Structure 1
Amino acid sequence: MVLPSLGPGGSEGVVSTIASRWAERGWSITVISLEAAETAPYYPLSSRVVLRRLGVPVDKNGILRGTYKAANRLRLLRSEFLRLKPHLVVSFLTRTNILSVLAAAGSGIPVVVSERNNPEAQTFGPIWSRLRRLTYPHAFGLVTMTHGAMESFPPKQRRRSWVIPNQVNVPSDIVPKRSGRIIAAVGRLVPQKGFDLLLEAFGQVAPYHPKWSLTIWGEGPERINLTMLRDELGLSDRVRFAGVSERPGSWLETADVFVLSSRYEGWGIVLMEAMAAGLPVVSFDCKFGPREMISHGEDGLLVPAGNVTALAASLSHLLGDESLRRNLGMQAALSAKRFSSDTVMSAWDKVVDDAVRSRGLSWTAPQRRAVDQIETDDPDRRHHHMR
């Protein structure tokens, strides 16, 4: 499994969970990250997982230096692939996916690429976009988290395709310490997450709900701009930027309402985490993800994407109605069970099974047992999220 880093992000959490589950079965799992050797994983990782850090972290560079660093990452990845001779490589995130396909070229090693964002909205510049068009047809297959994201790719870039949502994992050590008056939002402080829109919406409702405050969890390049906007809106005593949570999911302990204000998403795993924890949620109906999690008015509230006025109105309605918050939270927790870890792992097992079968390889008993279980499950359940 290959990805840029194992820091505090949605893809990083997914890889840590999948790798650990597979390794605990007795599979030989290596996770390769591009980050510095001394970097510690943010999420728990089984001791049975072999972790290889290549020491070539992703950062901003000019064209020449960026090209040199990308070539170095490609060289190191290929060296690892040829040394390990894995039955399958599963790569996460676009640039790393491209490098993984190139690194495996001519080796006979199948590579499954996994897109974790909205390919319609997320841009990479002309060079990486062209490389994706050229390399993805040579991947064994493509995984996305939503059907909308999959449809964004032309058929030749998805010869084999699997739509697999994120699993929801609420840490077992979460201890609620809720005051009853905290709105939470979580994500990297970048324009995609729409925290500027959330601040404007909260600015509209704050005077009518004086006991409520907003906590935004995460770090990123927009912190200064967002702090300035908060102060301009007169919300300096009502909005807190809390940084990255000390441990995975600990932001759930103090949240009473959750808001997703993203301009676009690949899935929105924090939204599902909030629902699984029984929080009432309000979300922009952005592409892609929220509509596949929320049934409006039943287990959460959806508002038109980017509409600050509508977000403010729904948020105010929720803050002013304790009964609504309680009912939406209970239904959200029930709804989140659709995305249990076992269900999602079954879908990932199918990806591995398809790849291994394509090479004419046979499974050892402990490897095959998990896939046998999938194939004896109810077929409707087994294929619910797969194309």
Structure 2
Amino acid sequence: MRVLHVITGLGVGGAEHQLRLVLPRLAADPAVVTLTNPGPVAAAIRAAGFPVHDLGMRGNRDLTAVPRLAAFIRAGRFDVVHTHLYRACVYGRIAARLAGVRAVVATEHSLGDGIIEARPTTAAVRALYLAAERLGRVTVAVSEAVRQRLVAWAVPDRRITVIPNGIDPAELRHDPALRLQTRARLGIPARARVVGGVGRLEPTKRFDVLVRAVAALPDTTLLLAGDGPARARLAALAGELGIADRVAFAGGLPHARAALCAMDVFASPSPQETFGMAVVEALAAGLPVVYVSCPPLEARPDPAARRVPATPDALRDAVRAALARPGGAAPETLAEHDIGRVAGALDQLYARLVRPDRVWSRTT
């Protein structure tokens, strides 16, 4: 079975990372098209032996992308088209139907309350989303919270299936040498107490709350791994609070492991997440975790993670307590979110859509 994954871009991000992880574990024969920005994740996917085609889309209104993508799908004789992220879900579903592919799947990675991929869910955004959704067969929600939001948007529940995101625990294993190397590169003392966060630095993630919490924790350094429009404001806030020398910005990283190894406690101040992958990755890395929102842990708590309100005082107190306790995810958390389970669930979905009476393998 041939499956084409269509994604908006392949820079550093959660959906992009998920695609990289799942491709080698699929029984189906996969290929990838990125509409634009074949960034570091594209290089990693190619290095793993999977083809990545850059469609070279020139902007959100480059309508020539649709017939070009349809021609690529038709020439590749793909059995399934699987789209990821808003723009690819719109263009990819249309192109797949023009190419005659009926087995069209979309994964909804980033639908929040009133926001999707950092853009407000205006009436126009919602209308375009729903129009394109009708051209597909199934929408995969990465959490129960996302499923509920899709239903609230009037996506029929029968067309939604929940397949949670996955991790590769081996990629996240703690490495003492990497810990020291990362701290040295970022100018963090080897014996410092380090609280960290991972994610795109944008206002909705509320890293400002974490900066204020750390300001009230003497002898504690904050490490933020990620980049985005809020970085300058966060740096300015750290200066205003007199802790600029205790806040380290790692920038965008192709993989979170190095940053996680450098931390003693992981904190996620975001009040709204579609999944909260960074939280689960931090648990797999052996860190005690403090978080505001993480749908899978809200459904099934882990003893190494504590949920708190999104206030500086609550984060401060929880971080202080976490610095004194060991971390490490419960085995059932790691098993439930193993990336192999995600790949298996997707293979079953593809088979059900294409030929429900047949079992597929990579050589089919």
TM-score of Structure 1 vs Structure 2, range by shorter chain:
0.7 to 0.9
Match of 2:347 in 1: 349
Task: Provide the TM-score with structure 1 as the length reference.
Answer: 0.80
Deviations 1:21-76 (A, max 9, x none): 22xx5x43110112246866364556442211112266xxxxxxx43x2x133232
Higher strand share: 2
CA drift at 1:118:
3.2
Match of 1:77 in 2: 69
TM-aligned CA distance change 1:174 to 1:46, over 3 Å: farther
Aligned: 1:121 with 2:114: yes
Aligned: 1:110 with 2:103: yes
Match of 1:142 in 2: 139
Deviations 1:121-167 (A, max 9, x none): 31343322111122212311010111121022236444432211111
1:338 corresponds to which of 336, 358, 363? 336
Aligned: 1:19 with 2:23: yes
- The share of aligned pairs that are identical, in percent, is 26
Match of 1:183 in 2: 195
State the structure with bigger RCO (CA 8 A, min sep 6), 1 or 2.
2
1:1-387 equivalent positions in 2, closer than 5 A = 1-22=5-26, 25=27, 27-36=28-37, 41=42, 43-45=44-46, 47-56=48-57, 66-67=60-61, 69=62, 71-106=63-98, 107-122=100-115, 123-154=120-151, 156-170=155-169, 171=171, 175-176=175-176, 177=179, 179=191, 181-203=193-215, 205-206=216-217, 210-245=218-253, 247-285=255-293, 288-292=295-299, 294-295=301-302, 298-304=303-309, 306-319=310-323, 322=324, 325-326=325-326, 329-332=327-330, 335-357=333-355, 362=358, 366=362
Q: For residues 110 and 137 of structure 1, what CA distance do their matches in structure 2 show?
A: 12
TM-aligned CA distance change 1:120 to 1:130, over 3 Å: same
Q: Secondary structure at the match of 2:266?
A: strand
Instruction: Name stretches of at least 5 consecutive residues in structure 2 with no aligned partner.
Output: 181-190
CA drift at 1:119:
3.5
Q: For residues 37 and 252 of structure 1, what CA distance do their matches in structure 2 show?
A: 25
Task: Provide the TM-score with structure 2 as the length reference.
Answer: 0.84
More divergent stretch after superposition (176-185 vs 126-135): 176-185
Instruction: Name stretches of at least 5 consecutive residues in structure 1 with no aligned partner.
Output: 59-65, 369-387
Q: Secondary structure at the match of 1:234?
A: coil
TM-aligned CA distance change 1:239 to 1:334, over 3 Å: farther
Q: For residues 174 and 309 of structure 1, what CA distance do their matches in structure 2 show?
A: 29
More divergent stretch after superposition (116-125 vs 228-237): 116-125
Q: For residues 228 and 276 of structure 1, what CA distance do their matches in structure 2 show?
A: 32
